[in-house]
Amino acid sequence: MEGNSLKQLRDFLMSRRDRLGEGVQVREREIDLLESGEARVEIVDIAQTLEQMGRNTALAEQERRELVAIEHALSKIAVGTFGFCEECEDEIPHKRLLAVPETKFCARCQSIAERAESRMRGAAGAVAR
């Protein structure tokens, strides 16, 4: 991958990392405030408060996972392995990297991984019944 394109992707990833980090901190403060009871709520508002806590927790977890993926991509840039599929080691097309710069897989390997994950979820659901 060309140096200029790699620098642009790196800058983009770093910017996203910073924004996500700020968002996670805000959500975690909101969750702490709600859990501590400092947010004065009436009994009627408890359900709404619990729902908001659930949404904040889910968003914070999603943002944390994305932060991990971004950090992984940035470390791959630093060591020179960015842009190659972690499964088949083929070069990931530039268009895919522009769309999902933190991707670890080429489109083919990503599809295979998603199908396997889907089968595992289906099997886990069948066992739970």
Which tens digit of pLDDT belongs to each residue from 12-30? 999 998 888 888 888 788 7
pLDDT for 30 equals 78
Which of 73, 85, 10, 15 has the alpha carbon at shortest distance from 2?
A: 10
| Alpha carbons 2 and 101: distance in angstroms, whole number | 14
With a cut of 60, say whether residue 3 has pLDDT above it: yes
Q: What is the pLDDT of residues 46-66, one digit of tens each?
A: 777 778 888 888 888 898 999
| C-beta atoms surrounding 97 within 10 Å | 19
Residue 122 and residue 106 in one domain: yes
**pTM for this one?**
0.69
Q: Is the pLDDT of residue 121 over 60?
A: yes
Q: Report d(CA 53, CA 31) in Å as an integer.
A: 6
Q: Give the range of the structural domain holding residue 111, as residue numbers without chain letter.
A: 83-129
Query: Is residue 67 located within the same domain as residue 104?
Result: no
- The residue count of the chain comes to 129
Mean pLDDT of all residues belonging to the chain = 84
Same domain, 71 and 104: no
**Are both 32 and 62 inside the same structural domain?**
yes
Percent of the chain predicted with pLDDT > 70:
85
Query: Per-residue confidence at 107, pLDDT binned at 50, 70, 90?
Result: very high
Whether 93 has a pLDDT exceeding 60, the answer reads yes
